[in-house]
């Protein structure tokens, strides 16, 4: 029978009781973590958000009725205990904050009973994720997950306070709105009042925050929920959270400055980690050339080396034909991996193929200085030596080469580099390496659409010195765009926006957008731009990813209270679910039957 807590008042959370309270009466409440009977005594570990506290039930103190009641306690029962704090007579538990004390119970109320939970409420339990997510209420009680959620709260609170202090205003933007130009698939919301029309859930507050700059709010911030109806990967959720900001009358350095101080503040306050400022900056071009990635992980080296010059006349057709097609040959040195068995090397080749490589050439440097290589027979000894030298190859190293179009070579070696580092144990989750990647290309060529598309978005400002190439050489135009990268993960990105009507119109032209299309897509922002636009720039962080890295987890699902799984469903609530016909009727929509019917007819 569950009792009420009327008449009681909690005096302390579990770990707020300490040896300073010895002799005092306290009232504590929480969950039974464990009950042990020891002769005529019952010990209970009481758990709340703060941690554990030992409760001692002694029949001589609490009386027979209370003692018998304590005997019925099972894991996860919620109880209230009044008692006196006592210095532990037995051994001190060094693992507990309250390990030197206990509370000797004088009264006990069972506030709520519990069935046996499907898995123990402990750290790092090996329970399958789908069970954990179905019983998320219990999973969220586990100390490791709880500390993630608490850390997330801390990060949000610190971020808001820091930015408020820097003159940012928190302004809410609509959730029921129109498509934003991010280009991913929108979640739609049918309108009841306007049959046949739909709201879209925002992919980001991009247009609204630029509007707010036009309206003179100067500095905007919001921790904003965003939505993208894409197929999910490990680090994607249908709804995710951005720390979003926009600043007026600024250029790149101003945005970087405030954000470096924000990151340093967060890492100091939450993790007691000192972030060395200024954070290193690297152009996109350098990042690709050295690391094969626009989000290089700087916790380890293993840089890419362009060996095209060395092999342009060699006898290995894979290399020379890549060069003839305008590509390159590049390699990385996996230090000390020269004795990797053939099977594992083959696995790396398969891994590389997954990133678009046709193959992977390698040189293993034996301990006696000879080479084991997949392509030595096509090469002169001098050419082989030159390759080894170019990659600083030493005895015991494994050199891996890719040859293809630059984009593929970068992709392959960039991914391979991280894969190898992981296998080599080089990825220390306690080591935080930040990097700004700057000067992104303004455009990417889309083979599909046969036109230049914006790499960031169409409002991104080109670099001043590249403005004159907007028409003549779009591929060479660099943007005032920047990403902030942490340990190989992009945790945020942004850009300076175009505030000049003439440049904006040249940009739309370069993107092959007619004035009409541009107006249709971005109309209300372009309208706002007619009435005086300040220069402005912004940045948005993926809060989920940032907290995931801070909490040293591999999945953002571990830092989201109620996450969805890969098929975008929630195992806890069973959302999405069927709805009443009446609801659909009110919204003037039907569930399409054609497709299913067509398929049945075909069979």
Please state the residue numbers annotated as binding site for L-aspartate.
Answer: 182, 228, 456, 497
Check residue 593 and give left, alpha or beta (phi > 0: left; psi -120 to 50: alpha). Answer: alpha
Q: Which of 57, 162, 199, 459 binds a copy of itself (CB under 8 A)?
A: 199
CA distances from 74 to 37, 128, 146 (A): 12, 24, 22
The residue from 18, 283, 500, 519 that contacts a copy of itself (CB under 8 A) is: 500
Q: Is 392 helix (H, G, I), strand (E, B) or coil?
A: coil
Q: Is residue 61 within the footprint of a copy of itself (CB under 8 A)? A: no
564 binds a copy of itself (CB under 8 A): yes
Are the CB atoms for 54 and 25 separated by under 8 Å?
A: no
The answer to whether 384 and 314 are in contact (CB under 8 A) is no
Extract the annotated binding site for ATP: 228-230, 237, 490, 542-545
Q: Closest CB to a copy of itself among 476 and 579?
A: 579
Q: How far is the CB of 94 from a copy of itself (least distance, A)?
A: 24
Q: Which of 36, 353, 395, 585 binds a copy of itself (CB under 8 A)?
A: 585
Residue 307: which of 399, 430, 441 has the closest Cα? 399
Query: CB-based contacts of 405: which residues, under 8 Å, 6+ apart?
Result: 322, 325, 326, 327
We find the least distance from the C-beta atom of residue 302 to a copy of itself, in angstroms, to be 37
Among 45, 102, 186, 297, binds a copy of itself (CB under 8 A): 186
Mapping DSSP onto H, E and C, the string for 70-103 reads HHCCCCCCEEEEEEEEEECCCCCCCCCCCCCEEE
Pairing state between β 219-227 and 78-87: unpaired
The reply to whether 227 sits near a copy of itself by the rule CB under 8 A is: yes
**553 touches a copy of itself (CB under 8 A):** no
Q: Does 521 bind a copy of itself (CB under 8 A)?
A: no
From candidates 20, 38, 91, 193, binder to a copy of itself by CB under 8 A: 193
Selected binder of a copy of itself within 25, 36, 87, 192 (CB under 8 A): 192
Among positions 102-131, residues that touch a copy of itself (CB under 8 A) are 111-115, 117
Q: Tell whether residue 464 is a contact of a copy of itself (CB under 8 A).
A: yes
Q: Does 214 bind a copy of itself (CB under 8 A)?
A: yes
**243 lines the binding site for a copy of itself (CB under 8 A):** no
Considering only residues 21 through 40, tell me which ones interact with a copy of itself, judged by CB under 8 A.
29-32
Nearer to a copy of itself among residue 431 and residue 527 (C-beta): 527
Counting Cα atoms < 13 Å in the Cβ hemisphere of 535 gives 9
Does 89 sit near a copy of itself (CB under 8 A)?
A: no
CA torsion 223-525-492-284 (nearest 10°) is -170
CB burial class (10 A; 0-12, 13-18, 19+) of residue 83?
buried
Q: What do you get for the CA distance between the two ends of the chain, in Å?
A: 58
Residue 285 sits in the site that holds a copy of itself (CB under 8 A): no
User: Binding site: what residues are annotated?
Assistant: 182, 228-230, 237, 456, 490, 497, 542-545
- CA neighbor of 242 nearest in space, from 252, 230, 227: 227
Alpha-helical regions (H) of 136-178: 136-139, 143-165
Out of 182, 251, 269, 490, the residue judged to bind a copy of itself by CB under 8 A: 251
- Binding-site residue total for a copy of itself (CB under 8 A)? 132
């Amino acid at each position: 029978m569950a009792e009420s807590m009327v008449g009681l008042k909690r005096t302390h959370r579990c770990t707020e009781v300490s040896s300073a309270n010895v002799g005092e009466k306290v009232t504590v409440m929480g969950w039974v973590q464990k009950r042990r009977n020891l002769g005529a005594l019952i010990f209970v570990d009481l758990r709340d958000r703060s941690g554990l506290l030992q409760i001692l039930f002694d029949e001589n103190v609490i009386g027979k009725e209370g003692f018998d009641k304590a005997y019925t306690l099972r894991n996860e029962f919620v109880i209230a205990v009044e008692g006196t704090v006592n210095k532990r007579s037995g051994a001190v538990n060094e693992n507990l904050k309250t390990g030197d004390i206990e509370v000797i119970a004088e009264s006990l109320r069972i506030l709520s009973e519990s069935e046996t939970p499907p898995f123990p409420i402990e750290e790092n339990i090996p329970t399958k994720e789908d069970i954990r997510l179905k019983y998320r209420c219990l999973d969220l009680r586990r100390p490791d997950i709880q500390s993630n959620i608490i850390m997330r709260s801390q990060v949000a609170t610190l971020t808001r306070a820091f930015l408020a202090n820097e003159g940012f205003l928190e302004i809410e933007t609509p959730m029921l709105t129109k498509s934003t130009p991010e280009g991913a698939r929108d979640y739609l919301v049918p309108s009841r009042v306007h049959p046949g029309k739909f709201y879209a859930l925002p992919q980001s507050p991009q247009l609204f925050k630029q509007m707010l700059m036009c309206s003179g709010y100067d500095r905007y911030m919001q921790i904003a929920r965003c939505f993208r109806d894409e197929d999910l990967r490990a680090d994607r959720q249908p709804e995710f959270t951005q720390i979003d900001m926009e600043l007026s009358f600024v250029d790149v350095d101003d945005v970087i400055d405030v954000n470096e101080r924000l990151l340093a503040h967060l890492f100091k306050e939450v993790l007691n980690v000192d972030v060395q400022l200024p954070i290193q900056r690297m152009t996109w071009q350098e990042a690709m050339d050295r690391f094969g990635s626009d989000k290089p992980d700087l916790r380890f080296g293993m840089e890419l080396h362009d060996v095209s010059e060395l092999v342009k006349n060699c006898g290995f057709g894979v290399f020379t034909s890549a060069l003839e097609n305008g590509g390159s040959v590049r390699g990385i040195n996996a230090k000390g991996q020269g004795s990797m068995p053939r099977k594992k090397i083959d696995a790396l080749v398969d891994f590389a193929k997954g990133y678009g490589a046709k193959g992977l050439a390698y040189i293993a440097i034996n301990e006696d200085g000879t080479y084991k290589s997949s392509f030595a027979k096509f090469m002169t000894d001098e050419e082989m030596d030159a390759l080894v030298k170019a990659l600083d190859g030493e005895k015991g190293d494994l050199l891996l080469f890719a040859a293809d179009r630059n984009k593929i070579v970068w992709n392959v070696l960039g991914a391979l580099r991280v894969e190898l580092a992981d296998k080599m144990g080089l990825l220390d989750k306690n080591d935080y390496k930040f990097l700004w990647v700057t000067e992104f290309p303004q455009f990417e060529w889309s083979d599909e659409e046969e036109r230049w598309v914006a790499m960031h978005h169409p409002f991104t400002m080109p670099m001043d010195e590249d403005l004159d190439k907007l028409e003549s050489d779009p591929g060479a135009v660099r943007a005032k765009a920047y990403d902030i990268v942490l340990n190989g993960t992009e945790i945020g990105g942004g850009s300076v926006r175009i505030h000049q009507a003439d440049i904006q119109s040249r940009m739309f032209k370069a993107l092959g957008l007619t004035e009409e299309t541009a107006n249709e897509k971005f109309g209300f922002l372009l309208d706002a731009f007619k009435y005086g636009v300040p220069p402005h720039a912004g940045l948005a962080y993926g809060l989920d990813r940032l907290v995931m890295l801070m909490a040293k987890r591999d999945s953002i699902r571990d830092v989201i209270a109620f996450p969805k799984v890969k098929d975008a469903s929630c195992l806890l609530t069973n959302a999405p679910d069927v709805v009443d016909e009446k609801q659909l009727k009110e919204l003037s929509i039907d569930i399409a039957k054609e497709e299913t019917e067509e398929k049945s007819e075909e069979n």
